[in-house]
Amino acid sequence: MRMTTTKISVTIPTDVLAQAERTLAQPGETRSALLSRVLAAAVKTAAEQLYAEGYQRLPVTVEEDAAMEAAAREGFADVQAEQRARGRAWRRRAAR
């Protein structure tokens, strides 16, 4: 899938850019790729932090936890049943 991009002009202190290129850049990586990768990592970290803070403010209740566990068990049971059915079909084909 092709990602859309936006061209921007930013001013970065020379020493910060030089240090980023020395310490963060991967071999052959362009400045655009470096800055995109570092910014994406920062956005992901910030989103994860917001997620964690949300759970600290509103932790999962015992009831919610039980409901999630029941749903997971049901989902795993469905997957196991499907895998058993595939196994039976595979054995029938192999026996031919």
**pLDDT for 41-51, tens place per residue?**
999 999 999 99
Q: Are residues 46 and 77 in the same domain?
A: no
Q: Are residues 70 and 48 in the same domain?
A: no
Residue 3 lies in a domain: no
| Cα-based torsion angle of the residue sequence 45, 50, 53, 58 in order, rounded to the nearest 10 degrees | -140
Residue 4 lies in a domain: no
Residues in the chain: 96
Question: Which amino acid, one-letter code, is at 12?
Answer: I
**pLDDT for 13-69, tens place per residue?**
999 999 999 999 999 999 999 999 999 999 999 999 999 999 899 999 999 999 999
> Domain range spanning residue 48?
13-59
C-alpha atoms less than 13 angstroms from C-alpha of 21 in its C-beta half-sphere: 12
- pTM given for the model: 0.59
Plot region of 28 (φ>0 → left; ψ -120 to 50 → alpha; else → beta): left
Q: Are residues 54 and 18 in the same domain?
A: yes
Q: Are residues 69 and 53 in the same domain?
A: no
Q: Are residues 90 and 53 in the same domain?
A: no
Distance in angstroms (rounded) separating the CA atoms of residues 18 and 21: 5
User: Structurally, how many domains does the chain consist of?
Assistant: 2
pLDDT of residue 3: 82
